């Protein structure tokens, strides 16, 4: 925690470690002559401390490392003829806002954290004193001390557009301002008190629900912090909401059928969606909790919880209540998916999956320990057995013979794959056997022609030593016979070689005569 002490003559800024039980103040910045610090802001990303010095008309900054001494202060802005007062940081856009309380030209200014892009955001103010940023609503709040005893609290977009009056009252002098999702807080030096008002009610008078926390006697309340917004702001989520808002507004604009109708609607009446209503004083929409946007068109709970119910918490942010086994900020994770084996039932305890086993043991029901109980359930057929059982064989009673053996799904899958392959192989083999048998039987039945040729009726005698045969003996030289094309030359009598005189037979008759003689000789 960082704070300033205007009454200390040696040190102007102190720091305190909130985790330290002793709560001892540590000097951080020495006091300079004429220095009067009016506002402080700290950037946790760069660990840079910013402050406004109204007397010296400047804004300073200093790097404060987590370990080690702080660096020397450096000048961020020199603001001559101005009175810098309250400051605030827009950490999502890396901007610093400050108030110029000079009554002649009171305004609200902005620049980048490095001092570049210096510009005036709001002007024509009476005497702006303090400023605050609502990161979630993307709004800029400030207090303005109006002439006389009146004051007012206003807000706008971060660029100064859509200016709205939130609170207006009398007999108060707010000097510091803080906001959260539900309320506006300010410290008052007149009543020496801290006041609060809901920031959802856009009214010009102090509402009846305003609460006052009176301070002790002789105590002057100064700076105020509603809570540490820096550590909890999700800039990425805010950017997504803004993008969604622009898309939603564009879709509503596309519903307009003509330009004339759009202009007429804008001029005569403003629609506030989701039970929002129009403020008669400024014409802006007052949205219910959980809705934002110019027309209250953005539902923060829309598609926010993936597996759960969405509600709006006290800070105005969506919050999920997850269903059954889902966990996570948006109920997006199911740790029970495929966690418990063998039909174990999974539940969530302390955001961790826990298994309740039926037929097995182990943290994930991975060990099958009691197959007897499993077989009893199977034989009784009272409920289905787990499909993930590796192997189990159960013998049932006579009346349950139909369930005598339990085959696992894994084995069924293997059989279902191998059986068609084996059947096809057997069919092909049988077909091959049938074809081979047919051709073997066919070749076996084909007749063989056997012929016998008688070369010599008197036995075998070598040609070199054979006796002289009579003239009427049939003689065939085997050597000459084998040199013929057809070795089936029949034996014939010499007397038949030439036709008898006076016989005029044809060649066909001669052939028939030769065949007849061949048959006689073969016998």
Domain boundaries, the chain: 2-239, 269-299, 305-331, 344-405
pLDDT of 260 above 70: no
Give 207 or 334, the one with higher predicted confidence: 334
Quick check: 387 pLDDT over 80?
no
The pTM of this model reads 0.49
| CA-closest candidate to residue 315, choices 232, 245, 235 | 232
Q: Is the pLDDT of residue 380 over 60?
A: yes
- Picking from 88, 204, 224, the residue whose alpha carbon sits closest to that of residue 146 is 204
- Residues 88 and 141: their CA atoms lie apart, in Å, by 10
The residue ranking higher by pLDDT, 289 or 122, is 122
Return the percentage of the chain with pLDDT > 90, whole number.
17
405, pLDDT greater than 50: no
pLDDT at 214 over 60: no
| 351 or 262, which is more confident | 351
- 428 vs 367, residue with greater confidence: 428
Query: Is a pLDDT exceeding 80 seen at residue 101?
Result: yes
Predicted confidence at residue 391, as pLDDT, reads 44
Look at residue 306 in the predicted model and tell me its pLDDT: 87
Nearest-angstrom CA–CA distance, 374 and 260: 76
Strand 139-145 relative to strand 74-78, pairing: unpaired
Q: Which residues pair with 49 in a beta bridge?
A: 42, 62
Do 186 and 153 meet the contact criterion of CB atoms below 8 Å apart? yes
Q: How confident is the model at residue 192 (pLDDT cuts 50, 70, 90)?
A: confident
Q: Write out the two tokens for 128.
A: 């702006």
Structurally, what CATH architecture does the domain formed by 2-239 represent? Answer: 6 Propeller (2.120)
Highest mean pLDDT among 233-242, 303-312, 393-402: 303-312
Residue 416 has pLDDT above 60, yes or no: yes
45-49, 241-245, 487-491, range with greatest mean pLDDT: 45-49
Minimum mean pLDDT among 17-26, 28-37, 147-156, 254-263: which range? 254-263
Mean pLDDT for the stretch of residues 194-204: 72
Summary mean pLDDT of the chain: 75
Structure tokens at 320: 């999920």
Q: Which of 67-76, 131-140, 249-258, 444-453 has the lowest mean pLDDT?
A: 249-258
Helix (H, G, I), strand (E, B) or coil at 178: strand
Residue 259, φ and ψ in degrees, nearest 5: -70, -40
Average pLDDT over residues 192-209: 66
Q: Is the pLDDT of residue 250 over 60?
A: no
Query: What mean pLDDT is predicted for residues 414-431?
Result: 85
Domain spanning 269-299: which superfamily? Laminin (2.10.25.10)
Structure tokens at 340: 């418990």
Retrieve residue 202's tokens.
């856009």
Q: Over 70: is that where the pLDDT of 242 sits?
A: no
pLDDT given at position 2: 82
């Amino acid at each position: 925690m960082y704070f300033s002490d205007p009454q200390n003559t040696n040190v102007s800024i102190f720091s305190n470690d909130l985790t330290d039980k002793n709560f001892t103040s540590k000097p951080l910045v020495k006091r300079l002559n004429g220095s009067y610090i009016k506002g402080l802001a700290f950037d946790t990303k760069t660990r840079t401390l910013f402050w406004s010095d109204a007397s010296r008309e400047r804004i300073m900054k200093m790097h404060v490392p987590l370990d080690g001494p702080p660096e020397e202060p450096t000048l961020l802005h020199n603001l001559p003829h101005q009175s810098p007062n309250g400051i605030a940081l827009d950490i999502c856009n890396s901007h610093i806002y400050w108030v110029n309380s000079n009554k002649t030209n009171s305004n609200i200014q902005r620049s980048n954290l490095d001092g570049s892009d210096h510009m005036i955001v709001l002007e024509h103010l009476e005497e702006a004193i303090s400023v605050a940023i609502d990161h979630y609503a993307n709004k800029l709040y400030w207090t303005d001390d109006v002439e006389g005893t009146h004051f007012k609290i206003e807000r706008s977009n971060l660029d100064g557009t859509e200016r709205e009056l939130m609170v207006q009252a009398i007999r108060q002098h707010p000097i510091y301002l803080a906001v959260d999702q539900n309320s506006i807080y300010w410290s008052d030096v007149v009543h020496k008190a801290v006041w609060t008002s809901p920031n959802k009610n856009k009214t010009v008078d102090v509402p009846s629900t305003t609460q006052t926390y009176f301070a002790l006697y002789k105590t002057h309340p100064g700076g105020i912090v509603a809570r540490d917004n820096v550590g909890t702001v999700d800039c990425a989520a805010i950017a997504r909401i803004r993008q969604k808002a622009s898309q939603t507004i564009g879709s509503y604009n596309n519903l307009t059928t003509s330009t004339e109708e759009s202009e007429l609607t804008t001029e005569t009446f403003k629609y506030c969606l989701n039970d929002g209503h129009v403020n008669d004083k400024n014409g802006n929409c007052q949205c219910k909790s959980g809705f934002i946007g110019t027309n209250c068109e953005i539902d923060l709970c829309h598609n926010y919880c993936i597996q759960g119910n969405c509600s709006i918490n006290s800070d105005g942010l969506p919050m999920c209540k997850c269903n059954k086994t889902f966990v996570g900020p948006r109920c997006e994770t199911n740790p029970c998916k495929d966690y418990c084996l063998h039909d174990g039932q999974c539940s969530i305890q302390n955001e961790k999956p826990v298994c309740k086993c039926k037929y097995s043991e182990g943290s994930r029901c991975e060990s099958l320990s009691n197959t007897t109980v499993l077989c009893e359930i199977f034989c009784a057929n009272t409920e289905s057995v787990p499909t993930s059982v590796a192997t189990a064989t159960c013998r049932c009673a006579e009346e349950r013979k139909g369930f005598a053996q339990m085959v696992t799904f894994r084995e069924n899958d293997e059989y279902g794959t191998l059986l068609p392959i084996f059947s096809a192989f057997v069919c092909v083999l049988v077909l091959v056997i049938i074809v081979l048998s047919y051709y073997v039987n066919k070749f076996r039945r084909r007749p063989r022609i056997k012929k016998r040729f008688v070369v010599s009726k008197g036995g075998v005698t070598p040609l070199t030593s054979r006796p002289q045969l009579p003239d009427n003996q049939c003689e065939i030289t085997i050597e000459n016979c084998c040199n013929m094309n057809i070795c089936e030359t029949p034996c014939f009598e010499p007397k038949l070689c030439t036709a008898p005189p006076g016989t005029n037979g044809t060649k066909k008759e001669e052939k028939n005569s030769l065949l007849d003689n061949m048959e006689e000789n073969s016998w």
